[in-house]
């Protein structure tokens, strides 16, 4: 059912057909133990569009993002409802192997997590090794991925040094490079710039611009300017006290920031709470 819908929409919107996958969250709810933290989230993350998820701390943005590439289920007490469709296939069904789901939907975590004992170069190549693929040109892929992540100039002379010796911000950019090297269809980024200086942040934003026609990008950010700069679609999450997080409002980014319909959205994007 949804495949036709998706195709129809893609034909309608895309003048130059953007590559990348279309991801749809349908009625997504999530629990940790008996505590419900997300309720009925419906978001379309279309190819060629950068989707920003914004909202105050603890409203379930990371949880939603982790549901999108099956990271959520790694928490022992975590459960979920609803479905997530990648180009029409339910990623929680048997249509796609779980490793394939995660390879096609890459993730950059809130906290940098390179493999510290591995060299910088091996970190970039780790995804290919993990998915059992060979790179035709290792050096070229390493350079390209590191350049896109804005890290190349800093590490070009120490690709064989262990990644554990990088600074926090450099590690985060290495993780971005690592995710890009497997050429995912969708890239989920959970506050990728929260540990970065303005220059590296700028570089990552440029990368997002460059990538957005090849990879579908979903980014969680606490920085309202960043959300406006990089995204075209924006969803505002909010969790009232002792209630699960919900999407209060979503739509075109300029609309969310320019003329939001819900007063809570207006308050949040204008920095009046959260």
Partner 1 sequence: MEANDSEGPTGLAALGLGEPPEADGPRRIEARMSRSDRFYRALATTGAGITLLIIVLIGVFLLLEALPAFRAAGFGFLTTQRWDPDSVPPEFGVAAMMYGTAVTAIVAMLATVPLALATAVFINEYAPRALRAALTSLVDLMAAIPSLIFALWGLFFLVPWLQPIEGWLVAQLGGTLPFMRAIATGSSLFNAGLVIALMAIPITTSIIREVLSQAPRHECEGALALGGTRWGMITTVILPFGRTGIVGGSMLGLGRALGETIAATLILNIRFEIKPQILETGGITVASGIAVEFFDAQELGLSALMAAGLSLFLVTIVINLLAATVVERAKSAA
- Footprint on this chain of partner 1 (rule: CB under 8 A): 69, 71, 74, 76, 99-100, 102-104, 106-107, 109, 111, 113-118, 126-127, 129-131, 162, 164, 175, 178-179, 182
Which residues of the shown chain bind ligand ATP in the complex (CB under 6 A)? Answer: 32, 37, 57-63, 75, 110
What CA–CA distances, in Å, run from 27 to 44, 75, 79, 246? Answer: 11, 20, 14, 10
Q: Which residue is nearest to Mg ion (CB)?
A: 62
Q: Which one of ligand ATP, Mg ion, partner 1, none is in contact with 168 (Cβ closer than 5 to 8 A by kind)?
A: none
Integer Cα distance of 146 and 123 in angstroms: 11
Residues 6+ apart with CB under 8 A from 142: 121, 124, 125, 159, 181
Q: Which one of partner 1, ligand ATP, Mg ion, none is in contact with 102 (Cβ closer than 5 to 8 A by kind)?
A: partner 1
Considering the complex, state which of residue 119 and residue 194 has its C-beta at the smaller distance from Mg ion.
Answer: 194
| Least distance from ligand ATP to the Cβ atom of residue 38, Å | 7
- Region from 37-45, 55-63, 72-80, 242-250 binding Mg ion, contact rule CB under 5 A: 55-63
Integer Cα distance of 43 and 45 in angstroms: 6
Integer Cα distance of 172 and 182 in angstroms: 16
- Residue 128: closest CA among 151, 110, 106: 106
| Least distance from partner 1 to the Cβ atom of residue 142, Å | 15
Integer Cα distance of 35 and 20 in angstroms: 34
| Least distance from partner 1 to the Cβ atom of residue 122, Å | 9
For position 62 contacting Mg ion by CB under 5 A, the verdict is yes
CB 232, CB 50: distance < 8 Å: yes
216-220 and 89-90 as β-strands: parallel, antiparallel, unpaired? unpaired
| Least distance from ligand ATP to the Cβ atom of residue 134, Å | 36
For position 221 contacting Mg ion by CB under 5 A, the verdict is no
| Least distance from Mg ion to the Cβ atom of residue 78, Å | 14
């Amino acid at each position: 059912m949804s495949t036709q819908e998706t195709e129809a929409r893609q034909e309608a919107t895309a003048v130059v057909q953007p590559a990348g996958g279309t991801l749809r969250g349908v009625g997504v709810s999530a629990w940790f133990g008996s505590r419900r933290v997300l309720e009925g989230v419906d978001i379309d993350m279309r190819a060629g569009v950068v989707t920003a998820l914004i909202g105050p701390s603890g409203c379930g943005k990371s949880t939603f993002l982790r549901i999108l590439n099956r990271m959520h289920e790694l928490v022992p007490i975590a459960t979920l409802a609803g479905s997530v469709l990648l180009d029409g296939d339910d990623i929680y069904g048997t249509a796609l192997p779980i490793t394939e789901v995660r390879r096609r939907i890459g993730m950059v975590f809130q906290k940098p997590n390179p493999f510290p004992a591995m060299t910088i170069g091996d970190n970039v190549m780790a995804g290919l090794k993990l998915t059992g693929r060979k790179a035709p040109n290792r050096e070229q892929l390493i350079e390209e991925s590191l350049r896109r992540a804005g890290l190349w100039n800093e590490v070009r002379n120490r690709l064989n040094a262990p990644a554990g010796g990088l600074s926090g911000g450099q590690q985060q950019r290495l993780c971005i490079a690592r995710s890009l090297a497997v050429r995912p269809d969708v890239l989920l980024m959970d506050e990728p710039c929260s540990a970065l200086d303005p220059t590296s942040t700028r570089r990552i934003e440029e990368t997002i611009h460059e990538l957005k026609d090849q990879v579908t990008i979903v980014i969680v950010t606490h920085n309202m300017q960043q959300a406006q700069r990089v995204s075209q679609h924006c969803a505002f999450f909010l969790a009232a006290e002792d209630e699960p997080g919900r999407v209060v409002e979503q739509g075109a980014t300029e609309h969310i920031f320019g003329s939001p319909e819900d007063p809570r959205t207006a308050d949040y994007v204008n920095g009046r709470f959260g």
